[in-house]
Amino acid sequence: MSCLAKYDAIGVGIGPFNLSAAALCAPIADLKTVFLDSKREFSWHPGLLVSGATIQTSHLKDLVTLADPTSRYSFLSYLHAHRRMYRFITAGFEGVPRVEFNDYFRWVSKELKNARFGTAVDSVEHAGDSFTVNCNPELTTRNLVLGTGLRPNVPKLAENLLGDSIFHASSLMNRNIEWTGRRVAIIGGGQSGGEVLNQLLSDESKLPSKLYWISRRDNFLPLDDSPFTNELFTPGYSNFFFDLPLEKRLFSVQSQKLSSDGISSALLQQIYRRLYAFEFLRGRKPEIVLRPNTNLVGLERDAKDQYRITIKSRLTDKATTAEVDLVILCTGYRYSVPRFLERMLHRIQLSENGYEYNPDFSIKWDGPPDQKIYVQNAAVNSRGVAHPSLSLMAWRSANIVNDLAGRPVYQVHDSRDLDLWL
């Protein structure tokens, strides 16, 4: 039986970004919202909650603080509620442990009355003055806020080999993987590649026999976390970037890659010190092969259920092969249009560079202008390298909530931007 409950906005998907929007919507009495997710409870990359992993942004860039410092859903409120404020300050973390930020997200998700888990959305349609969200029960809304997130990016040569021995790093901690005494190849030289390598070397009683770290990047390069680079993670730059011609935006995204997709300096130092200890201070060590500036060009299973990788240096064009037992793909994530939008795709403007965005974070479609589809975390080519990170999460959500409410509930311009671009 259908229940046509009319909402001002329905969010589909509850990752950090829609959790932020839900938290900022929650205090607004005249804004009726609900956010849906098929998962039974909130989780944030649970397969990558490796020991020692930290977030790469300030804890002030949480779900709400940069839009509403007084919110009960801030990270500081979480620390206060759990009676650990003084201990957190005294600990002097350079970066907040990712497991703690995940616990913060989970705490907020349980506090929110407009977050509904265990509800799968089958499809979305539009007719007349509303969208119909086909779930159980059926719901209608004037606006949508889509936050379905990114999916693991798997190289084509690995797609047909995925299984217990070849898998994306996003599922590492969800698997009962035994790597002791085995030959392991880690593909990808970003933060997750570094974290996986560090995890495999963290317990000297469970070391692999041989470990390959393979990356297309020139080297195992650090995240650029310097002050002027961090100006790219401000509202002013996001708006400036949005107004650039497409070719300039695409160029900027590539040239600024290490501002958002490098390895934290602390992790690089920790890895290097581990390698030093294995080389000079330990009696037992795995064989570790580091191959930056190298492409994975071949991957096949042999008759013994082992795997042969073929790698090729980008500098010498020399190709070499190696036999391995495990391949862990640290190859990032990509956005794909959710299946529940299939019935509406003919009405949405899509190109090879993704959705066509409006300045208010809604996408262009052929419906009424006052009935909008906001899409979170799919606008790198429209908003820049900061878009997928936590840095502008609260600001972007505040803009969406203000637009839904039809008034400036949240102040979204509360800092002077450094004029570096005009």
pLDDT exceeds 60 at position 94: yes
3-state secondary structure at position 91: helix
Each residue of 138-189: pLDDT tens digit? 999 999 999 999 999 999 999 999 999 999 999 999 999 999 999 999 999 9
Which pLDDT tens digit goes with each residue over 354-394? 999 999 999 999 999 999 999 999 999 999 999 999 999 99
Alpha helices in 69-207 (DSSP H): 75-81, 85-91, 98-111, 191-200
Phi and psi at 368, nearest 5°, equal -60, 140
3-state secondary structure of 307: strand
Strand order in the sheet with 326-329: 166-168, 326-329, 183-187, 210-214, 287-291
Residue-range domain boundaries for the chain = 5-150+335-405, 152-222+261-329
98-149 residue pLDDT tens: 999 999 999 999 999 999 999 999 999 999 899 999 999 999 999 999 999 9
Structure tokens at 349: 């403007």
Residue given tokens 């010190």 in the structure block: 273
Quote the pTM value: 0.95
Q: Both tokens of residue 5?
A: 């409950």
The pLDDT of residue 61? 97
211 beta partners: 184, 288
Residue 300 Cα distances to 158, 159, 305, 314, 323, angstroms: 8, 11, 10, 21, 10
- Arithmetic mean of pLDDT, 396-416: 92
State the Cα torsion 210-216-195-98 to the nearest 10°: -160
Nearest-angstrom CA–CA distance, 124 and 117: 18
d(CA 335, CA 337): 7
407 pLDDT more than 50:
yes
Whether 5-150+335-405 shares its CATH topology with 152-222+261-329 is answered: yes
Structure tokens at 250: 């695409």
Residue 422, pLDDT score: 62
Given CATH 3.90.420.10, say whether it is the number of domain 152-222+261-329: no
Q: Which two tokens stand for residue 260?
A: 């958002």
Long-range contacts, stretch 26-29, CB < 8 angstroms, 24+ apart: 26/73, 26/112, 26/113, 26/114, 27/71, 28/401, 28/405, 28/409
pLDDT(1) > 80: no
Distance CA 150, CA 15 (A): 10
| Residue 285's pLDDT band (cuts 50, 70, 90) | confident
In this structure, which topology does domain 5-150+335-405 adopt according to CATH? Answer: FAD/NAD(P)-binding domain (3.50.50)
Token duo for residue 187: 């593909």
Q: Span 342-362, mean pLDDT?
A: 95
pLDDT, mean over the chain = 94
> How confident is the model over 236-240, as a mean pLDDT?
94
pLDDT of residue 416: 76
Tokens standing for 98?
A: 């990712």
**Environment class of residue 78 by beta-carbon count within 10 Å: exposed (0-12), middle (13-18) or buried (19+)?**
buried
pLDDT at residue 5, rounded to an integer? 53
Q: From the centroid of its chain, how far is CA 12? A: 16
Structure token pair of residue 225: 């976390």
Strands (E), 142-256: 144-146, 151-152, 166-168, 183-187, 210-214
